[in-house]
Amino acid sequence: MKALVLEEKGVLALRDIDLPLAVGASELKIKIHTVGVCGSDVHYYTHGAIGPYVLREPMVLGHEAAGTVIEVGSAVSGFKVGDRVCMEPGIPDLSSRASKLGIYNVDPSVRFWATPPIHGVLTSEVVHPAAFTYKLPDNVSFAEGAMVEPFAIGMQAAARARIAPGDVAAVIGSGPIGIMVALAALAGGCSRVFISDFSAPKLAIAAQYSGITPVNIGEESFAEVIARETNGWGADVVFEASGSPKAYDGIFDLVRPGGAIVMVGLPVDKVSFDVAGAISKEIRIETVFRYANIFDRALQLIASGKVDLNPLITETFAFDKSIEAFERAAAGNPSDVKLQILLGDAAV
Protein backbone atom coordinates (compact mmCIF):
# COMPACT_ATOMS: atom_id res chain seq x y z
CA MET A 1 0.00 0.00 0.00
CA LYS A 2 1.07 3.58 -0.52
CA ALA A 3 1.75 5.48 2.69
CA LEU A 4 3.33 8.70 3.94
CA VAL A 5 6.61 7.43 5.41
CA LEU A 6 9.01 9.39 7.58
CA GLU A 7 12.27 7.84 6.35
CA GLU A 8 14.45 9.76 8.80
CA LYS A 9 14.44 13.17 10.42
CA GLY A 10 13.44 15.73 7.80
CA VAL A 11 12.84 13.20 5.02
CA LEU A 12 9.32 12.24 3.92
CA ALA A 13 8.32 9.89 1.12
CA LEU A 14 4.97 8.92 -0.33
CA ARG A 15 5.71 5.32 -1.29
CA ASP A 16 4.59 1.72 -1.14
CA ILE A 17 5.15 -0.15 2.10
CA ASP A 18 4.17 -3.59 3.38
CA LEU A 19 1.97 -3.37 6.48
CA PRO A 20 0.23 -6.24 8.32
CA LEU A 21 -3.45 -6.37 7.38
CA ALA A 22 -4.58 -9.77 8.69
CA VAL A 23 -7.78 -9.24 10.72
CA GLY A 24 -7.87 -10.96 14.12
CA ALA A 25 -11.05 -12.22 15.76
CA SER A 26 -11.52 -9.03 17.81
CA GLU A 27 -10.36 -6.58 15.15
CA LEU A 28 -11.69 -4.51 12.28
CA LYS A 29 -10.17 -3.57 8.95
CA ILE A 30 -10.83 0.07 8.21
CA LYS A 31 -10.48 2.05 4.98
CA ILE A 32 -8.98 5.40 5.99
CA HIS A 33 -10.85 8.50 4.86
CA THR A 34 -9.44 11.52 6.74
CA VAL A 35 -6.31 12.01 8.85
CA GLY A 36 -5.35 15.12 10.82
CA VAL A 37 -1.81 16.48 10.90
CA CYS A 38 -0.80 16.59 14.56
CA GLY A 39 1.97 18.59 16.17
CA SER A 40 3.63 15.38 17.32
CA ASP A 41 3.72 14.08 13.72
CA VAL A 42 5.37 17.33 12.67
CA HIS A 43 7.83 17.17 15.58
CA TYR A 44 9.00 13.70 14.53
CA TYR A 45 9.42 15.08 11.01
CA THR A 46 11.46 18.10 12.12
CA HIS A 47 13.32 16.67 15.14
CA GLY A 48 13.23 12.88 14.79
CA ALA A 49 12.27 12.34 18.42
CA ILE A 50 9.95 13.38 21.24
CA GLY A 51 11.54 12.72 24.61
CA PRO A 52 12.35 8.99 24.88
CA TYR A 53 10.53 8.16 21.63
CA VAL A 54 13.22 8.24 18.95
CA LEU A 55 12.80 7.50 15.24
CA ARG A 56 15.25 4.69 14.44
CA GLU A 57 13.67 3.26 11.28
CA PRO A 58 11.12 4.41 8.66
CA MET A 59 7.67 5.01 10.15
CA VAL A 60 4.24 5.77 8.68
CA LEU A 61 2.87 8.99 10.17
CA GLY A 62 -0.65 9.94 11.29
CA HIS A 63 -2.86 9.06 14.26
CA GLU A 64 -5.93 11.33 14.09
CA ALA A 65 -8.17 9.31 11.81
CA ALA A 66 -11.65 8.37 10.64
CA GLY A 67 -12.75 5.87 8.03
CA THR A 68 -15.09 3.06 7.02
CA VAL A 69 -15.19 -0.56 8.21
CA ILE A 70 -14.46 -2.96 5.35
CA GLU A 71 -13.94 -6.22 7.27
CA VAL A 72 -15.16 -7.47 10.67
CA GLY A 73 -13.37 -10.02 12.87
CA SER A 74 -15.18 -13.25 13.72
CA ALA A 75 -15.65 -12.39 17.41
CA VAL A 76 -16.72 -8.77 16.90
CA SER A 77 -20.29 -7.69 17.55
CA GLY A 78 -21.82 -4.26 17.09
CA PHE A 79 -19.97 -3.40 13.87
CA LYS A 80 -20.70 -4.16 10.24
CA VAL A 81 -19.09 -3.45 6.90
CA GLY A 82 -19.90 0.12 5.87
CA ASP A 83 -19.93 1.61 9.38
CA ARG A 84 -18.30 5.02 9.55
CA VAL A 85 -15.88 5.13 12.48
CA CYS A 86 -13.10 6.95 14.27
CA MET A 87 -10.32 5.18 16.12
CA GLU A 88 -8.58 5.70 19.43
CA PRO A 89 -4.92 5.34 18.41
CA GLY A 90 -3.43 3.89 21.60
CA ILE A 91 -3.68 0.14 22.16
CA PRO A 92 -2.76 -0.78 25.75
CA ASP A 93 -2.08 -4.14 27.32
CA LEU A 94 -5.45 -4.71 28.98
CA SER A 95 -3.84 -7.02 31.54
CA SER A 96 -1.33 -4.39 32.69
CA ARG A 97 -1.45 -2.75 36.11
CA ALA A 98 -2.01 0.65 34.47
CA SER A 99 -5.02 -0.64 32.53
CA LYS A 100 -6.50 -2.27 35.63
CA LEU A 101 -6.17 1.07 37.42
CA GLY A 102 -8.02 2.78 34.55
CA ILE A 103 -4.96 4.79 33.48
CA TYR A 104 -4.09 2.87 30.33
CA ASN A 105 -2.81 6.08 28.71
CA VAL A 106 0.34 5.76 30.84
CA ASP A 107 0.73 2.02 30.29
CA PRO A 108 4.46 1.63 29.44
CA SER A 109 3.60 -1.04 26.87
CA VAL A 110 0.91 0.95 25.03
CA ARG A 111 1.19 0.80 21.23
CA PHE A 112 0.30 4.24 19.91
CA TRP A 113 0.02 5.02 16.20
CA ALA A 114 2.94 7.05 14.77
CA THR A 115 4.98 6.77 17.95
CA PRO A 116 8.26 4.94 17.23
CA PRO A 117 8.40 2.12 16.36
CA ILE A 118 4.62 1.83 15.72
CA HIS A 119 3.38 2.77 12.26
CA GLY A 120 0.63 5.35 11.91
CA VAL A 121 -2.36 5.47 9.57
CA LEU A 122 -1.54 7.76 6.67
CA THR A 123 -2.20 4.87 4.34
CA SER A 124 -5.24 3.35 2.65
CA GLU A 125 -6.20 0.60 5.14
CA VAL A 126 -5.47 -0.32 8.75
CA VAL A 127 -6.41 -3.06 11.21
CA HIS A 128 -7.53 -1.94 14.68
CA PRO A 129 -9.17 -3.47 17.78
CA ALA A 130 -12.94 -3.09 17.79
CA ALA A 131 -12.72 -2.14 21.49
CA PHE A 132 -10.95 1.09 20.53
CA THR A 133 -13.10 1.91 17.51
CA TYR A 134 -16.22 4.10 17.69
CA LYS A 135 -19.13 4.54 15.28
CA LEU A 136 -19.65 8.03 13.94
CA PRO A 137 -23.21 9.31 14.38
CA ASP A 138 -24.88 10.31 11.13
CA ASN A 139 -24.45 14.02 11.88
CA VAL A 140 -20.67 13.74 12.43
CA SER A 141 -18.52 14.01 9.31
CA PHE A 142 -15.28 12.14 8.66
CA ALA A 143 -13.44 15.44 9.15
CA GLU A 144 -15.01 15.87 12.58
CA GLY A 145 -14.33 12.22 13.33
CA ALA A 146 -10.63 12.83 12.75
CA MET A 147 -10.84 15.70 15.27
CA VAL A 148 -12.08 13.48 18.11
CA GLU A 149 -8.52 12.42 18.96
CA PRO A 150 -7.11 15.91 19.65
CA PHE A 151 -10.37 16.98 21.30
CA ALA A 152 -10.05 14.01 23.67
CA ILE A 153 -6.87 15.63 24.99
CA GLY A 154 -8.87 18.76 25.80
CA MET A 155 -11.49 16.60 27.49
CA GLN A 156 -8.81 14.83 29.53
CA ALA A 157 -7.44 18.22 30.62
CA ALA A 158 -10.88 19.45 31.66
CA ALA A 159 -11.50 16.26 33.61
CA ARG A 160 -8.13 16.53 35.38
CA ALA A 161 -8.95 20.13 36.30
CA ARG A 162 -12.01 19.03 38.31
CA ILE A 163 -13.96 22.04 37.05
CA ALA A 164 -16.83 23.31 39.19
CA PRO A 165 -19.78 25.07 37.52
CA GLY A 166 -19.01 28.75 37.10
CA ASP A 167 -15.23 28.44 37.27
CA VAL A 168 -13.03 30.89 35.39
CA ALA A 169 -10.22 29.32 33.35
CA ALA A 170 -7.10 30.66 31.71
CA VAL A 171 -5.46 28.82 28.80
CA ILE A 172 -1.89 29.56 27.74
CA GLY A 173 -1.52 28.93 24.01
CA SER A 174 -4.16 29.15 21.27
CA GLY A 175 -2.94 26.38 19.01
CA PRO A 176 -5.22 23.44 18.14
CA ILE A 177 -4.91 21.83 21.57
CA GLY A 178 -5.21 25.14 23.43
CA ILE A 179 -8.48 26.02 21.69
CA MET A 180 -9.83 22.49 22.23
CA VAL A 181 -8.89 22.71 25.91
CA ALA A 182 -10.80 25.99 26.11
CA LEU A 183 -13.86 24.43 24.45
CA ALA A 184 -13.72 21.40 26.76
CA ALA A 185 -13.42 23.70 29.78
CA LEU A 186 -16.56 25.57 28.70
CA ALA A 187 -18.39 22.30 28.12
CA GLY A 188 -17.23 21.14 31.55
CA GLY A 189 -18.88 24.06 33.30
CA CYS A 190 -16.55 27.07 33.12
CA SER A 191 -18.37 30.37 32.87
CA ARG A 192 -15.50 32.12 31.09
CA VAL A 193 -12.23 31.09 29.49
CA PHE A 194 -9.40 33.49 28.73
CA ILE A 195 -6.85 32.31 26.16
CA SER A 196 -3.46 33.86 25.45
CA ASP A 197 -1.04 33.84 22.54
CA PHE A 198 1.19 36.10 20.45
CA SER A 199 -0.61 35.09 17.25
CA ALA A 200 -3.45 37.45 16.36
CA PRO A 201 -4.83 35.10 13.65
CA LYS A 202 -5.10 32.16 16.06
CA LEU A 203 -6.66 34.36 18.74
CA ALA A 204 -9.20 35.58 16.18
CA ILE A 205 -10.23 31.97 15.53
CA ALA A 206 -10.60 31.33 19.26
CA ALA A 207 -12.65 34.52 19.60
CA GLN A 208 -15.33 33.06 17.29
CA TYR A 209 -16.51 30.95 20.21
CA SER A 210 -18.87 32.44 22.77
CA GLY A 211 -17.35 32.35 26.24
CA ILE A 212 -13.72 32.54 25.07
CA THR A 213 -11.87 35.85 25.49
CA PRO A 214 -8.59 36.18 23.56
CA VAL A 215 -5.61 38.02 25.06
CA ASN A 216 -2.68 39.02 22.87
CA ILE A 217 0.30 38.85 25.24
CA GLY A 218 2.37 40.82 22.78
CA GLU A 219 0.16 43.77 23.64
CA GLU A 220 -0.91 43.26 27.27
CA SER A 221 -0.04 41.18 30.29
CA PHE A 222 -2.08 38.00 30.69
CA ALA A 223 -1.70 38.20 34.48
CA GLU A 224 -3.00 41.78 34.51
CA VAL A 225 -6.03 40.84 32.39
CA ILE A 226 -6.86 37.89 34.65
CA ALA A 227 -6.44 40.03 37.76
CA ARG A 228 -8.67 42.76 36.33
CA GLU A 229 -11.39 40.36 35.23
CA THR A 230 -11.43 38.43 38.54
CA ASN A 231 -11.14 41.42 40.89
CA GLY A 232 -7.60 40.43 41.77
CA TRP A 233 -8.51 36.87 42.78
CA GLY A 234 -7.12 34.87 39.83
CA ALA A 235 -8.36 32.06 37.61
CA ASP A 236 -9.77 28.93 39.24
CA VAL A 237 -7.79 26.78 36.83
CA VAL A 238 -4.90 27.54 34.48
CA PHE A 239 -4.16 25.24 31.54
CA GLU A 240 -0.66 25.38 30.07
CA ALA A 241 -1.13 24.30 26.44
CA SER A 242 1.71 26.03 24.62
CA GLY A 243 4.58 23.73 25.49
CA SER A 244 6.82 26.78 25.82
CA PRO A 245 9.23 26.81 28.78
CA LYS A 246 8.68 30.58 29.04
CA ALA A 247 5.02 29.93 29.86
CA TYR A 248 6.05 28.90 33.36
CA ASP A 249 7.52 32.31 34.14
CA GLY A 250 4.87 33.91 36.36
CA ILE A 251 2.32 31.14 35.83
CA PHE A 252 1.39 31.22 39.52
CA ASP A 253 0.40 34.89 39.15
CA LEU A 254 -2.53 33.71 37.02
CA VAL A 255 -4.13 31.23 39.43
CA ARG A 256 -6.12 31.93 42.56
CA PRO A 257 -5.14 30.62 46.01
CA GLY A 258 -6.14 26.96 46.17
CA GLY A 259 -6.62 26.82 42.41
CA ALA A 260 -5.24 24.34 39.90
CA ILE A 261 -2.67 24.31 37.14
CA VAL A 262 -3.05 21.64 34.45
CA MET A 263 0.02 20.95 32.31
CA VAL A 264 -0.98 19.93 28.80
CA GLY A 265 1.80 21.22 26.55
CA LEU A 266 5.01 19.19 26.48
CA PRO A 267 8.15 21.38 26.59
CA VAL A 268 11.19 20.09 24.75
CA ASP A 269 13.54 21.95 27.11
CA LYS A 270 13.61 22.06 30.90
CA VAL A 271 11.44 24.67 32.59
CA SER A 272 11.99 26.96 35.56
CA PHE A 273 9.46 26.11 38.24
CA ASP A 274 8.60 28.45 41.13
CA VAL A 275 8.08 25.94 43.93
CA ALA A 276 7.61 28.66 46.53
CA GLY A 277 4.93 30.28 44.36
CA ALA A 278 3.05 27.00 44.16
CA ILE A 279 3.34 26.22 47.86
CA SER A 280 2.38 29.70 49.06
CA LYS A 281 -0.98 29.38 47.27
CA GLU A 282 -1.39 25.63 47.85
CA ILE A 283 -1.80 25.14 44.12
CA ARG A 284 -2.98 21.74 42.91
CA ILE A 285 -0.88 20.63 39.93
CA GLU A 286 -2.21 18.13 37.40
CA THR A 287 -0.61 16.66 34.29
CA VAL A 288 -2.09 15.32 31.06
CA PHE A 289 -0.67 12.58 28.86
CA ARG A 290 -3.05 11.75 26.02
CA TYR A 291 -6.35 10.46 27.53
CA ALA A 292 -8.08 7.44 29.02
CA ASN A 293 -11.73 6.37 29.10
CA ILE A 294 -12.82 9.60 27.45
CA PHE A 295 -12.63 9.11 23.66
CA ASP A 296 -16.27 8.10 23.31
CA ARG A 297 -17.40 11.01 25.49
CA ALA A 298 -15.49 13.44 23.28
CA LEU A 299 -17.31 12.00 20.26
CA GLN A 300 -20.67 12.27 22.02
CA LEU A 301 -20.05 15.92 22.87
CA ILE A 302 -19.23 16.72 19.25
CA ALA A 303 -22.32 14.83 18.07
CA SER A 304 -24.50 16.78 20.50
CA GLY A 305 -23.71 20.00 18.66
CA LYS A 306 -22.47 21.68 21.83
CA VAL A 307 -18.93 21.74 20.46
CA ASP A 308 -18.29 22.70 16.83
CA LEU A 309 -14.74 21.94 15.73
CA ASN A 310 -15.26 22.74 12.04
CA PRO A 311 -13.92 26.33 12.36
CA LEU A 312 -10.58 24.84 13.45
CA ILE A 313 -10.06 22.92 10.18
CA THR A 314 -7.98 25.33 8.12
CA GLU A 315 -7.37 23.30 4.98
CA THR A 316 -7.68 19.76 3.63
CA PHE A 317 -5.02 18.28 1.35
CA ALA A 318 -5.34 15.40 -1.10
CA PHE A 319 -3.32 12.32 -0.15
CA ASP A 320 -0.85 12.90 -2.98
CA LYS A 321 -0.16 16.33 -1.44
CA SER A 322 0.69 14.87 1.99
CA ILE A 323 4.31 16.02 1.94
CA GLU A 324 3.15 19.52 1.06
CA ALA A 325 0.76 19.41 4.03
CA PHE A 326 3.59 18.50 6.40
CA GLU A 327 5.90 21.14 4.97
CA ARG A 328 3.21 23.74 5.56
CA ALA A 329 2.56 22.50 9.09
CA ALA A 330 6.29 22.64 9.85
CA ALA A 331 6.42 26.22 8.55
CA GLY A 332 4.07 27.30 11.33
CA ASN A 333 1.71 29.51 9.36
CA PRO A 334 0.10 31.68 12.09
CA SER A 335 -3.36 31.43 10.52
CA ASP A 336 -3.32 27.61 10.45
CA VAL A 337 -4.99 25.65 13.23
CA LYS A 338 -5.68 22.12 11.94
CA LEU A 339 -4.61 20.71 8.59
CA GLN A 340 -6.12 17.45 7.38
CA ILE A 341 -5.34 14.93 4.65
CA LEU A 342 -8.11 13.32 2.63
CA LEU A 343 -7.57 9.73 1.53
CA GLY A 344 -11.21 8.90 0.67
CA ASP A 345 -13.63 10.77 -1.55
CA ALA A 346 -14.93 14.16 -0.49
CA ALA A 347 -18.31 12.83 0.68
CA VAL A 348 -18.88 12.88 4.43
113-152 confidence digits (pLDDT tens): 999 999 999 999 999 999 999 999 999 999 999 999 999 9
Tell me the per-residue pLDDT of 44-89, one tens digit each, with 9 for 90 and over.
999 999 888 999 999 999 999 999 999 999 999 999 999 999 999 9
Q: Could you tell me the CATH number of the domain that includes residue 20?
A: 3.90.180.10
Whether residues 170 and 134 fall in one domain: no
How many Cβ atoms are within 10 Å of 340's Cβ, its own excluded? 21
Dist CA 242 CA 180 (whole Å): 12
Dist CA 207 CA 224 (whole Å): 19
Dist CA 168 CA 213 (whole Å): 11
Q: Could you tell me the CATH number of the domain that includes residue 224?
A: 3.40.50.720
Strands 338-342, 27-36: pairing kind: antiparallel
In contact, 1 and 31? CB cutoff 8 Å: no
Q: pTM score, two decimals?
A: 0.95
- Domain of 61, in residue numbers: 2-147+309-342
- The answer to the question of residue 213 being in a domain is yes
Taking 60 as the threshold, does the pLDDT of residue 100 lie above it?
yes
AA identity, residue 284: R
Dist CA 170 CA 190 (whole Å): 10
Between the CA of residue 299 and those of 103, 119, 155, 164, 222, what are the distances in Å?
19, 24, 10, 22, 32
Whether residues 130 and 45 fall in one domain: yes
Per the prediction, the chain carries an average pLDDT of 96
Dist CA 214 CA 208 (whole Å): 10
Between the CA of residue 96 and those of 14, 25, 260, what are the distances in Å?
36, 21, 30
Dist CA 38 CA 181 (whole Å): 15
